[in-house]
Every structure is written in structure tokens, then in C-alpha cells.
């Protein structure tokens, strides 16, 4: 068994940079590693484990000697290269939405449904950022039987990439200085504003982002179509970290699920940290999650609209658990489980 030969595709982007950083932090095993981008950033330099690497332009032949590709270069790039990677015997852990709902592609949150990795046939998909943080919270509560789920997201601009982060900074500066500003990434000005649209609208009036939360949650947690799920996703003028208000209705036969019970379960759950002492103004805010791994949960309370329901607030770093951290964790799992070529 040899260690995997790794490539990071989209290494110069917001998520790719984070993947690089976390790969170093989590000490991934590799025989070789390369960093790939489009022609635009090819030739630039990346430091990894005190060694300098030159970023290469992604072309089919660069995947000849690669076993695992961690990709965050957009859906069309994944569509272009995934078949080339698979054809060459490699596998891709993809951050884009291109393959998430394909039947033969496992959609995985490491630590939640690792077993699904066993049936991959070259492509593993990483869920949408707002779905990802929610899964670590819902998985331990699934045993009560989820009947209905309502999620409202407050998503930071880094979820839309580097250009969107620059737009928030430049728009804010222009507004404070009373200068005109033309928004390009967002349909409305993002500074001092909240935009109730992420991604395009679907025929049913929901946005594609909202439907990702609905469909991906069902796929990852293996929930039946009888479980009703609704989501409203809003973009907020925050650089990093997504927040979510979550209302969960449980099956009647689960018995009354209490906030104390949920608090105790989540305190011991993988990847979750509970901060929940409102009397002392202790609850998680977006800033608490900046640059760290846990999904923070607070404001756990009995839901007043459901007969047997819980409401809670959950916050996480969208670039880590929502994308890069999960990708690197999956890469480690695939390596440990020997699920790559050459293992």
C-alpha cells in the first residue's frame, strides 16, 4: 500500500487556500502533492509544509499520476475534469454542486455518513456549506425521528468566493465615503443590507441554494420524502461564517424531546460545541466560528409552534466545515479506509 498522490484543484481560490492550510494542519498523508488552477494563476507560488510549489494549469494529463483530487474550482471545471480523473483511475472529492445529487455519487460529511464512501466510483461530493454545518447537529438528533425541518440561513459573502468578499469591502468603503458603487457579484448592494436571494430562483419560488439544503439533507441523513423540509437562505454582510435558525419537529412516538436532552446530546456530539447560557448572554455568534472547526450551537429551546419540537441557533465557519475542512477530513477517511487507487 502506498500513500496517495494528491492534487488540490482550485488551489488559488478561497476554498482551495483553506484546503491547503487544513491539509497541513491535519497532516494528511501523501506521496506527492500538486497545486492546480486555471491558466490565470498558473505559475504563482504556494507554500506548503515549508516547501514552495509552483501552481500548475489544470489539464487532463496533469491527473495521470494523481490518486486523490481535492477540488474547489466551480461546477463547470469539475464537470470538465472529473471524467478525466476517473478515466485515469483517480478520484475527486468535489466541493461544487455538479455531482451532489447524482445517484452513484456519495454525498458525505465526515463523521456523519463515512460508510457511504465505500460505494464511491471515483467521485465523492462535498455538501453545500449551509447543509454541512446542519448535518453535524441533526445527525445525533435523528434517533428521535425528524418529522419536519425549517431552516433559515444567514450566509456570509465568502460563500460566494473571493470576488464577493472584495465586493463587500469595496461597497462598504464606498458607502461610508458617500461614493457610488456598482455591485457585480450580488443582485443588490451587500453593504449594510441583507439579500434574500442566494443562487437563482427555481420554478417553485425557492432558490437553488434553498433547494440544496432540502435535497442534500435528505440524501445525507437518508430521510424519506415524508419528512417535510423548508429553507430560506439570505446573504448577510459578514465576511466569514454562516448562521442558521433551525426548527425541528420530532415524531410524536419519540416522547417529548426536551431542550436539556438535546443540550446533553449535542455536548457529546462529534464536531459540535454547545454555548448555551442565555442568562449570562452566552450563545454563539458568527465571530466565534471564524477560523475554527466546531459547529457552535446555542439558544436551544422548546419550539412553540410544534407539539414536539426544538429550536436552536447554529454557527460555523463556512470555509472550514462548510467546505475545506470536510474535504480534507474526507481525504483522510479515504486514505485510512484504503479507498483510493494504489491503497
Ligand X SMILES: NC(=O)c1ccc[n+]([C@@H]2O[C@H](COP(=O)([O-])OP(=O)(O)OC[C@H]3O[C@@H](n4cnc5c(N)ncnc54)[C@H](OP(=O)(O)O)[C@@H]3O)[C@@H](O)[C@H]2O)c1
The secondary structure of residue 253, as a DSSP letter, is G
13 binds ligand X (CB under 6 A): yes
Catalytic residue among 120, 231, 242, 314: 242
**Which of these segments, 13-21, 85-93, 108-116, 207-215, binds ligand X (CB under 6 A)?**
13-21
Among 241, 250, 247, 266, residue whose Cα is nearest residue 316: 241
Phi, psi dihedral angles at 240 (to 5 degrees): -145, 135
In contact, 267 and 213? CB cutoff 8 Å: no
Distance of CA 223 to the CA centre of its chain: 19
Phi, psi dihedral angles at 304 (to 5 degrees): -85, -15
The Cα 135–Cα 243 span in angstroms is 14
Residue whose entry in the numeric block shows the C-alpha cell 470536510: 326
Nearer to ligand X, 250 or 296 (CB): 296
In contact, 235 and 157? CB cutoff 8 Å: yes
Interface pick for ligand X out of 6, 22, 93, 96 (rule CB under 6 A): 96
58 binds ligand X (CB under 6 A): yes
Cα dihedral 223/225/228/230 (nearest 10)? 90
In contact, 175 and 192? CB cutoff 8 Å: yes
Interface pick for ligand X out of 5, 69, 70, 72 (rule CB under 6 A): 72
221 binds ligand X (CB under 6 A): no
Shortest Cβ 240–ligand X spacing (Å): 9
Is 129 assigned a catalytic role?
Answer: yes
Interface pick for ligand X out of 8, 93, 125, 129 (rule CB under 6 A): 129
**Which of these segments, 67-75, 167-175, 177-185, 333-341, binds ligand X (CB under 6 A)?**
67-75
The Cα 291–Cα 9 span in angstroms is 21
CB atoms within 10 A of CB 305: 10
241 binds ligand X (CB under 6 A): no
Is 331 assigned a catalytic role?
Answer: no
41 binds ligand X (CB under 6 A): yes
Cell of 70: 481535492
40 binds ligand X (CB under 6 A): yes
Phi, psi dihedral angles at 4 (to 5 degrees): -70, 150
Interface pick for ligand X out of 4, 16, 189, 294 (rule CB under 6 A): 16
131 binds ligand X (CB under 6 A): no
**Which of these segments, 62-70, 140-148, 184-192, 319-327, binds ligand X (CB under 6 A)?**
319-327
In contact, 203 and 197? CB cutoff 8 Å: no
Q: Which residue is nearest to ligand X (CB)?
A: 13
Q: What binding mask, one character per residue, do residues 288-317 give for ligand X by CB under 6 A, x or -?
A: ------------------------------
In contact, 68 and 330? CB cutoff 8 Å: no
Shortest Cβ 1–ligand X spacing (Å): 30
The secondary structure of residue 201, as a DSSP letter, is B
Residues 152-181 that bind ligand X (CB under 6 A): 158-159, 161-162
Cell of 34: 500538486
93 binds ligand X (CB under 6 A): no
Cβ neighbors of 188 (< 8 A, separation 6 or more) are 195, 197
Catalytic residue among 129, 231, 314, 331: 129
274 binds ligand X (CB under 6 A): no
Shortest Cβ 228–ligand X spacing (Å): 25
Interface pick for ligand X out of 7, 249, 322, 331 (rule CB under 6 A): 322
The Cα 153–Cα 198 span in angstroms is 10
Residues of this chain that interact with ligand X (CB under 6 A) are 10-16, 37-38, 40-41, 58, 72-75, 77, 95-96, 129, 158-159, 161-162, 318-319, 322-323
Active-site residues, by number, are: 129, 242
Amino acid at each position: 500500500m502506498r500513500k496517495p498522490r494528491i492534487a488540490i484543484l482550485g488551489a488559488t481560490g478561497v476554498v482551495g487556500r483553506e484546503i491547503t492550510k487544513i491539509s497541513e494542519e491535519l497532516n494528511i498523508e501523501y506521496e506527492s502533492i500538486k497545486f492546480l488552477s486555471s491558466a490565470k494563476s498558473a505559475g504563482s507560488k504556494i507554500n506548503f509544509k515549508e516547501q514552495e510549489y509552483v501552481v500548475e494549469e489544470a489539464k487532463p494529463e496533469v491527473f495521470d499520476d494523481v490518486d486523490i483530487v481535492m477540488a474547489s474550482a466551480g461546477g463547470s471545471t469539475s464537470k470538465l475534469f472529473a471524467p478525466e480523473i476517473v478515466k485515469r483511475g483517480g478520484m475527486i472529492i468535489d466541493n461544487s454542486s455538479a455531482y451532489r445529487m447524482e445517484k452513484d455519487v456519495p454525498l458525505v460529511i465526515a463523521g456523519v455518513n463515512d460508510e457511504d464512501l465505500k460505494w464511491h466510483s471515483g467521485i465523492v461530493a462535498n455538501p453545500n456549506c449551509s447543509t454541512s454545518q446542519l448535518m453535524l447537529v441533526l445527525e445525533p438528533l435523528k434517533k428521535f425521528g425528524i418529522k419536519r425541518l425549517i431552516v433559515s440561513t444567514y450566509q456570509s459573502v465568502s460563500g460566494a468566493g473571493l470576488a464577493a468578499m472584495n465586493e463587500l469591502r469595496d461597497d462598504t468603503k464606498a458607502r461610508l465615503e458617500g461614493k457610488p458603487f456598482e455591485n457585480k457579484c450580488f443582485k443588490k448592494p451587500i453593504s449594510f443590507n441583507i439579500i434574500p436571494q442566494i443562487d437563482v430562483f427555481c420554478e417553485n419560488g425557492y432558490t437553488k441554494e434553498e433547494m440544496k439544503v432540502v435535497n442534500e439533507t435528505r440524501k445525507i441523513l437518508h430521510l424519506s420524502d415524508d419528512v417535510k423540509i423548508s429553507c430560506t437562505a439570505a446573504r448577510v454582510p459578514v465576511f466569514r461564517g454562516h448562521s442558521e435558525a433551525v426548527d425541528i419537529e420530532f415524531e410524536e412516538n419519540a416522547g417529548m424531546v426536551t431542550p436539556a436532552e438535546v443540550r446533553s446530546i449535542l455536548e457529546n456530539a462529534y464536531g459540535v460545541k454547545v454555548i448555551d447560557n442565555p442568562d449570562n448572554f452566552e450563545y454563539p455568534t458568527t465571530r466565534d466560528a471564524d477560523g475554527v472547526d466546531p459547529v457552535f450551537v446555542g439558544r436551544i429551546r422548546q419550539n412553540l409552534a410544534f407539539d414536539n419540537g426544538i429550536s436552536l441557533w447554529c454557527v460555523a465557519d463556512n470555509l472550514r466545515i462548510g467546505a475545506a475542512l470536510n474535504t480534507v477530513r474526507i481525504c483522510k477517511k479515504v486514505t485510512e479506509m484504503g479507498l483510493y487507487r494504489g491503497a
